Amino acid sequence: MSAIEELGQAQRTTVHEAERVLLVVVDDSDEMPIALHFACRRAEHADGRVALFYVPAKADFQHWMAVGDLMREEAREVGEEILQRHSAEIQKKTGKIPILYIREGDRSEELIKLMDEEPNISTLVLAAGTDTSGPGPIISYLIGKGARHVHVPITIVPGTMTVDEINAIT
CATH of the domain at 44: 3.40.50.620
**How far is Cα 89 from Cα 87, in angstroms, rounded to an integer?**
5
Tell me how far apart the alpha carbons of residues 75 and 59 are, in angstroms, rounded to a whole number.
Answer: 8
Give a yes or no: residue 23 inside a domain: yes
Question: Residue 36 domain-assigned?
Answer: yes
Helices (H), the chain: 3-17, 32-45, 65-94, 107-117, 137-143, 163-169
DSSP 110: H
Is residue 5 included in any domain, yes or no? no
Q: Give the confidence band of 22 by pLDDT, cuts at 50, 70, 90.
A: very high
Q: What is the mean pLDDT of residues 117-143?
A: 95
Helix (H) or strand (E) holding 154: strand 154-157
> What mean pLDDT is reported for the chain?
87
pLDDT above 90 as % of the chain: 72
Q: Is the pLDDT of residue 69 over 80?
A: no
Total domain count, the chain: 1
What gap in Å lies between CA 162 and CA 99, rounded to an integer?
A: 25
Distance CA 87, CA 133 (A): 30
> Does residue 1 lie within any of the structural domains?
no
Domain hosting residue 106, numbered range: 17-169
162 lies in a domain?
yes
Q: Is residue 100 part of a domain?
A: yes
Chain centroid offset of residue 139 CA: 12
Query: What was the pLDDT predicted at 9?
Result: 47
Q: Would residue 3 count as lying in a domain? A: no
6 domain residue, yes or no: no
